[in-house]
């Protein structure tokens, strides 16, 4: 086991993060609370993480000079989003510790590689992905089996928050969607009888030790996460254990270091199906900032700094509400939401991401409601939705 880095406020002790979004911002705040200074590499001049980091390297994610500058300043580097070039992480790894590494990120970047990995480790995880088929040509469409339809056609790379995917019921639908996507290589996944979706947040250290957080139950709207509830009201003890065991098997098989979020489907008959993974802290794990001993961002700091992993106990039931830019709009007018009324609700914890340009569908922040009971947390969620004009 490598000797851990010692947390310190010394200028010599810097952690780096690839990406300037809100996940990088919350990572930086957690790292600073533990005594580190943070450098962010991001091509945009203005970004949420850049507002709080001690240093901003303005460079493209594949810019050699920018990467070398980040490596020269930091003792370890992480990434806040999965679409950072894997080659950039490999370049950084020649000089500093990188967590997660290029291999883990590259698998999560490519849906074909991701599905193949899930199948390959099924003997250890005891879960399989949905039936699927690679669609790279019209011949592939002609060869689609009847058992794969209806399904969802997804681009192999760069899809998130419902983007890059289309529901299809027939081969004609697949052809139309394939054309609409520019005939890029896609993956067709069979639609399954979904009861609910859960996400499992796990973390693995450089020494191979891993921890797993309580199971989160998610609700999406228009492909974007709407709420996360923990403990999940529909999650049985058996399903929770299977999902947690599967997540720890997957993170171990991947040889991963850092926080990894894995999304699972629970079908109507109780079957667990692995959907996808995100090699970073995740929107569905934001509740850990207010409801767990160690937040997902503090856990990422610990893993990349080779410190012991933190306690994942949840001390309070919690419901997390994603805040999108839509609530700033009332017809054509734009106004600040009534945060004072929201914060008057017991257990309301507001996190805004420093974005001054609200747009419909844009993630602007989140509110987590913690309470002695799940019913009380859910009641505060309902009250907040009423205040903010969010339909339930």
Annotated binding site for ATP: 111, 154, 159-165, 189-192, 197, 220, 275-276
Nearest alpha carbon to residue 300 among 99, 45, 119: 99
Nearest alpha carbon to residue 203 among 137, 161, 254, 269: 254
Give the total residue count for the chain: 392
Residues 6+ apart with CB under 8 A from 386: none
3-class DSSP state for residue 107?
A: helix
Nearest alpha carbon to residue 70 among 17, 30, 126: 17
* Burial of residue 180 (number of CB atoms within 10 Å: 0-12, 13-18, 19+): exposed
Distance in angstroms (rounded) separating the CA atoms of residues 248 and 126: 11
**Are 266 and 286 within 8 A, CB to CB?**
no
| Tokens linked to 6 | 């010692």
Q: Maximum Cα–Cα distance for the chain, whole Å? A: 62
Distance in angstroms (rounded) separating the CA atoms of residues 291 and 276: 25
Tracing tokens 């979706």 back to the chain, one arrives at: 197
| Tokens linked to 186 | 């896609």
Nearest alpha carbon to residue 372 among 309, 310, 291: 291
Strand residues in the chain grouped as ranges (E): 14-18, 37-42, 55-58, 76-79, 97-98, 132-135, 151-155, 165-168, 186-190, 194-204, 210-212, 216-221, 224-230, 258-267, 272-278, 318-324, 329-330, 333-334, 348-352, 363-370
**Are 198 and 284 within 8 A, CB to CB?**
no
């Amino acid at each position: 086991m490598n000797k851990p880095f010692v947390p310190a406020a010394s200028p010599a002790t810097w952690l780096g993060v690839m990406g300037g979004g809100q996940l990088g911002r919350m990572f930086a705040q957690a790292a600073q609370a533990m005594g580190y200074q943070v450098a962010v590499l991001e091509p945009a001049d203005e970004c949420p993480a850049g507002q709080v980091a001690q240093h901003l390297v303005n460079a493209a994610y594949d810019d050699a000079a920018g990467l070398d500058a980040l490596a020269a300043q930091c003792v370890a580097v992480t990434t806040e989003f999965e679409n950072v070039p894997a080659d950039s992480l490999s370049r950084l790894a020649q000089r500093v510790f990188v967590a997660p590494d290029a291999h883990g990120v590259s698998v999560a970047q490519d849906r074909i590689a991701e599905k193949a990995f899930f199948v390959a480790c099924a003997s250890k995880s005891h879960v399989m992905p949905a039936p699927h088929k690679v669609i790279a040509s019209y011949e592939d469409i002609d060869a689609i089996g009847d058992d794969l339809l209806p399904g969802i056609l997804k681009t192999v790379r760069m899809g998130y928050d419902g983007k890059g995917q289309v529901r299809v019921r027939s081969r004609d639908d697949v052809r139309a969607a394939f054309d609409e996507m520019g005939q890029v290589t896609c993956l067709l996944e069979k639609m399954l009888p979904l009861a609910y979706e859960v996400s499992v947040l796990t973390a693995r250290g450089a020494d191979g030790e891993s921890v797993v957080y309580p199971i989160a139950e998610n609700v999406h709207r228009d492909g974007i996460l709407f709420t996360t509830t923990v403990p999940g009201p529909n999650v049985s003890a058996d399903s929770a254990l299977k999902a947690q065991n599967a997540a720890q098997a997957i993170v171990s098989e991947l040889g991963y270091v850092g926080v990894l979020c894995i999304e699972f489907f629970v079908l109507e008959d109780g079957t667990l199906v692995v959907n996808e993974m995100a090699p970073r802290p995740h929107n569905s794990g934001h509740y850990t900032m207010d409801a767990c001993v160690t937040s997902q961002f503090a856990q990422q700091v610990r893993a990349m700094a080779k410190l012991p992993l933190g306690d994942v106990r949840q001390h309070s039931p919690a419901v997390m509400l994603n805040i999108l830019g839509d609530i700033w709009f009332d017809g054509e007018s734009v106004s600040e939401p009534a945060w004072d009324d929201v914060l008057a609700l017991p257990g309301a914890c507001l996190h805004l991401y420093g974005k001054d340009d609200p747009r419909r569908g844009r993630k602007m922040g989140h509110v987590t409601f913690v309470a002695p009971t799940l019913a009380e947390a859910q009641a505060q969620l309902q009250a907040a939705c009423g205040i903010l004009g969010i339909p339930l």
